[in-house]
């Protein structure tokens, strides 16, 4: 990672095709003529002069003036004697006569806020122990594997005794062990790139290549990922290429001019979030961003990126009123440069890391988000199903007596579930800013709130698509998520929270054990309606199938608190059916309305050749499996 700048490197960087630009840019420890030091490289095309300042020169840069090495604005300087963890910034003298102090866009490590300086850091030398995990995940496409994602904000999952942050090493051993025990397959981290403002949760970044200093060093984070992999847990990072914050030490007007952002404020400024959009028409920015995506896979062995705010990149009028945006060259609202960037991004990621997860948080009806770029798609392999989430949470917040009038909110998602490769998210955005926690959203008395949450989780597990649950949801966090404090783990001292926790754990492990629930997640052959029409009783019944046609589950969901005795459902084959999971079990806090084993009769029902009579428990989901 410490090679010299070559003409070819510079050519690729300015063409937007340098996929490892972090190996040429930034601060790299090296030895020249037997003298150890650091080579600094920076892109600042409109700067009149650039100096390196730091604690190694008392922040006086007159002795360390960088040399401009090409006409496109690359600057370079080797400084002998600079050591790991030395602080530094770039002193940029603009064409307008201003002097700016900027953090290194390619810095691998930074001061913890409120400090804003970059730190010299080597990323080499860590002894990875995750080869077995990396080889195992390449044996089967992710589409045919169970995926259960535990979404986590590291600063508030757990804290130390005095409210201090846990470091990556402590979090590795606590969080990965916990996630594995609970049956999750992946942990998704809210952004861990360096950011200045805690309430942004990491979505307003200043250091795209710098691992978050709140929780430790780059080597500590390598240990975190390595330990997760050794426990069989994949690691997904939230990544924010849509916009960046306007803090003075960051990317905003980096060399005194709009550089990383578009020049026109109607394109640059995101008024909704007070941030700046990236300029996807500038090739050096493309090199910066695509290299950054690959960096996290390459250097830190992460398994995927969840790309934040994709809709804000796709649409020029996103969050803007009339007169506040500029159309594209054809008069439309589509951001053609952003579309091209995302296609190039995904092509590069899958070229180098074919087993990667590239997940779009995309909230509109933009077509072919998860289709290949050669078919005109954006090239992601997964998309959050925001429509499913919004419809279902709206439905679940209704009093059960009114749900029959809104049955379409429950069934509509099945009409489009195979149009993209979907992840079903119950994410952090749904439990903040007055939206209430998932448990507190649920209507009814104390018992019904927990029962509603159990049927919600059971329905999510049964629905086609991979799954995501935000931390705290697994034990029924009652208050909204607060990034300034730990989750309310003390709730596990209370019986209903403890039983919900057990329910989620056993539901997760049940999901992983049943191929019917994930092997054909993205194929119509993996799903079949039995009865979507019983709106009057707010019950739906459907099949999930594995590749083996004899391996299937029948799922019955009851969204009212009424027990239905003698309820007949159609089944495809003769024989006995075993109730293999029931969310109404006493051990989960339910009422104990169980079925055990039921026999199919040769009586056609629900367009099936056979049928069986079951008991439908209240506010519950039941899974039946044919007895072989």
Angle, vertex CA 198, rays to CA 193 and CA 203, nearest 5:
45
Give the start-end residues of each E strand in 539-619.
539-545, 552-558, 564-571, 576-582, 597-599, 610-616
Q: Which are the contacts of 408, defined by CB distance < 8 A and separation ≥ 6? A: none
Q: At what angle do helices 283-300 and 336-352 cross, to 10 degrees?
A: 30
Does the active-site annotation cover 308?
yes
Contact between 233 and 131 (Cβ < 8 Å): no
Q: CA-CA distance, 522 to 524, in Å (whole number)?
A: 7
- Active-site option among 151, 361, 420, 579: 361
- Burial label, 581 (beta-carbon count in 10 A; 0-12, 13-18, 19+): buried
Give the start-end residues of each E strand in 85-183.
87-94, 99-102, 109-110, 118-119, 148-152
Q: CA-CA distance, 141 to 463, in Å (whole number)?
A: 20
Q: CA-CA distance, 624 to 605, in Å (whole number)?
A: 17
Angle, vertex CA 248, rays to CA 246 and CA 250, nearest 5:
70
Does the active-site annotation cover 361?
yes
Q: State both tokens at 619.
A: 């506010």
Give the total residue count for the chain: 628
Nearest to 245 by CA among 280, 285, 203: 203
Q: CA-CA distance, 385 to 367, in Å (whole number)?
A: 13
- Active-site option among 104, 226, 284, 308: 308
Q: Which are the contacts of 136, defined by CB distance < 8 A and separation ≥ 6? A: none
- Which residues are catalytically annotated? 308, 361
């Amino acid at each position: 990672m410490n090679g010299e700048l070559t003409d070819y490197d510079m050519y690729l960087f300015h063409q937007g095709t340098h996929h490892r630009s972090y190996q040429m840019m930034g601060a790299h420890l090296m030895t020249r003529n037997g003298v150890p030091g650091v080579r600094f490289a920076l892109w600042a095309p409109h700067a009149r002069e650039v100096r390196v300042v730091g604690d190694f020169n008392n922040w006086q840069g007159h002795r360390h003036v960088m040399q401009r090495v090409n006409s496109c604005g690359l600057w370079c300087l080797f400084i002998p004697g600079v050591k790991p963890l030395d602080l530094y910034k770039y002193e940029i003298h603009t064409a307008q006569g201003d002097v700016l102090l900027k953090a290194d866009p390619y810095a691998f490590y930074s001061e913890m806020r409120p400090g804003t300086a970059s730190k010299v850091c080597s990323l080499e030398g860590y002894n990875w122990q995750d080869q077995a995990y990396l080889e195992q995940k390449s044996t089967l496409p992710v589409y045919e594997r169970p995926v259960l994602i535990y979404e986590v904000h590291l600063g508030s999952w757990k804290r130390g005794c005095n409210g201090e942050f846990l470091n990556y090493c402590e979090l590795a051993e606590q969080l990965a062990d916990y996630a594995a025990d609970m049956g999750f397959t992946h942990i998704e981290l809210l952004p861990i790139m360096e950011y200045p403002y805690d309430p942004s949760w990491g979505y307003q970044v200043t250091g795209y290549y710098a691992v978050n200093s709140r929780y430790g060093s780059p080597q500590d984070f390598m240990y975190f990922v390595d330990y997760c992999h050794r426990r069989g847990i994949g690691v997904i990072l939230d990544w924010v290429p849509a916009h960046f914050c306007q803090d003075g030490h960051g990317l905003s007007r980096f060399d005194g001019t709009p550089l990383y952002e578009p020049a026109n404020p109607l394109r640059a400024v995101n008024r909704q979030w007070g941030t700046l959009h990236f300029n996807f028409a500038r090739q050096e920015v493309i090199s910066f961003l695509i290299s950054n995506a690959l960096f996290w896979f390459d250097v830190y062995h992460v398994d995927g990126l969840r790309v934040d705010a994709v809709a804000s990149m796709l649409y020029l009028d996103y969050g803007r009123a009339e007169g506040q945006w500029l159309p594209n060259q054809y008069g439309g609202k589509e951001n053609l440069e952003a579309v091209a960037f995302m296609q190039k991004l995904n092509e590069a990621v899958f070229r180098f890391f074919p087993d990667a997860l590239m997940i779009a948080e995309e909230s509109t009806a933009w077509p072919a988000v998860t289709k290949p770029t050669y078919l005109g798609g954006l090239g992601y392999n997964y998309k959050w199903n925001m429509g499913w989430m919004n419809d279902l949470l709206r439905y679940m917040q209704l009093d059960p007596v009114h749900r029959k009038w809104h049955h379409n909110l429950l069934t509509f998602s099945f009409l489009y579930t195979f149009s993209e490769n979907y992840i079903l998210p119950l994410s952090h955005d749904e439990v903040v800013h007055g939206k209430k926690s998932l448990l507190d959203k649920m209507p009814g008395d104390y018992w019904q709130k927990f029962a509603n949450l159990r049927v919600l989780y059971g329905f999510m597990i049964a629905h086609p698509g991979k799954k995501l649950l935000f931390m705290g949801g697994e034990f029924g966090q009652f208050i909204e998520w607060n990034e300034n404090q730990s989750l309310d783990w003390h709730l596990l001292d209370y019986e209903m929270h403890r039983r919900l926790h057990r329910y989620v754990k056993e539901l997760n492990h049940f999901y992983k054990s049943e191929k019917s629930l994930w092997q054909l997640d993205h194929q119509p052959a993996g799903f079949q309606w039995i009865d979507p029409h019983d709106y009057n009783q707010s019950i739906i019944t459907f099949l999930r199938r594995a590749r083996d046609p004899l391996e299937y589950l029948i799922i019955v969901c009851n969204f009212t608190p009424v027990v239905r005795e003698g309820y007949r459902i159609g089944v495809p084959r003769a024989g006995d059916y075993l109730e293999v999971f029931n969310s109404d079990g006493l051990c989960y806090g339910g009422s104990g309305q169980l079925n055990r084993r039921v026999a199919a009769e040769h009586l056609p029902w629900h367009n099936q050749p056979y049928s069986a009579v079951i008991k439908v428990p209240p506010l519950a989901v039941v899974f039946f499996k044919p007895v072989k």
